[in-house]
Amino acid sequence: MTIHYPIVLETEDGGAVSAYVPGLPVYAAADSRAKAERAIQSVLTAYLEAHPGTRTDAQVRVARVSTRQNKIDIVGVAALVGARRSAVKARASRANGRLGGRPAKTTKARRAKSVR
Residue 37's pLDDT is: 97
pTM to 2 decimal places: 0.61
Please state, as a whole number, how many other Cβ atoms lie within 10 Å of the Cβ of residue 81: 7
Residue 59's pLDDT is: 84
Q: How far apart are CA 36 and CA 12, in angstroms?
A: 12
- Burial annotation 47-72 (CB, 10 A radius, 16+ → b, else e): ebeeeeeeeeeeeeeeeeeeeeeeee
Q: Which residues of the chain have pLDDT under 50?
A: none
Residue 41's pLDDT is: 97
